């Protein structure tokens, strides 16, 4: 099981700024380990962000996103206390869902 995400959601006016830090190795499949073996790809493929029960962002990700990816989004019409739910799934089928409330 992957480590929890860090989600920060702050309200500015009627727009929520959401920043997400995902803990993931994001192996590209290009890298070689010390023994010269290619490290197999292991990366997040899909992610969704929901605010107040509605899907706001549907993202697909490739190998060239950095290790421990950080994503920032802005959502209009959000209210303080709305629940932000972020989920991802990687190419090995590992998944993780975390939530936070808009502050």
Kindly list the residues in this chain that would bind other proteins in the complex (CB under 8 A).
15, 26, 28, 30-32, 45-51, 53-67, 69-78, 85, 87-91, 93, 95, 97
48: which strand partners?
58, 87
CB of 96 to other proteins, least distance (A): 9
Q: Give the nearer residue to other proteins in terms of CB position, either 93 or 103.
A: 93
| Those residues with Cβ within 8 angstroms of residue 39's Cβ, 6 or more apart along the chain or in another chain | 27, 29, 31, 32, 33
Q: Considering the complex, what minimum distance in angstroms separates the CB of residue 103 from other proteins?
A: 18
| Cβ 23 to other proteins shortest distance, Å | 14
Among the listed residues 5, 9, 67, the one whose alpha carbon sits nearest the alpha carbon of residue 41? 67
Q: Hey, how many other C-beta atoms are within 10 angstroms of the C-beta on 60? A: 8
Q: Take residue 74 and report the two structure tokens written for it.
A: 């802005």
């Amino acid at each position: 099981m992957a480590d929890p995400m860090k989600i920060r959601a702050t309200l500015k006016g009627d727009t929520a700024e959401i920043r997400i830090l995902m803990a993931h190795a994001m192996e590209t499949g290009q890298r070689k380990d010390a023994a010269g073996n290619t490290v197999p790809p292991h990366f997040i493929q899909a992610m969704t962000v929901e605010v107040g029960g509605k899907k706001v962002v549907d993202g697909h990700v490739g190998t060239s996103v950095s290790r421990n990816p950080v994503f920032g989004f802005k959502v209009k019409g959000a209210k303080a206390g709305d629940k932000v739910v972020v989920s991802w799934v990687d190419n090995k089928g590992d998944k993780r869902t975390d939530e936070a409330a808009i502050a």
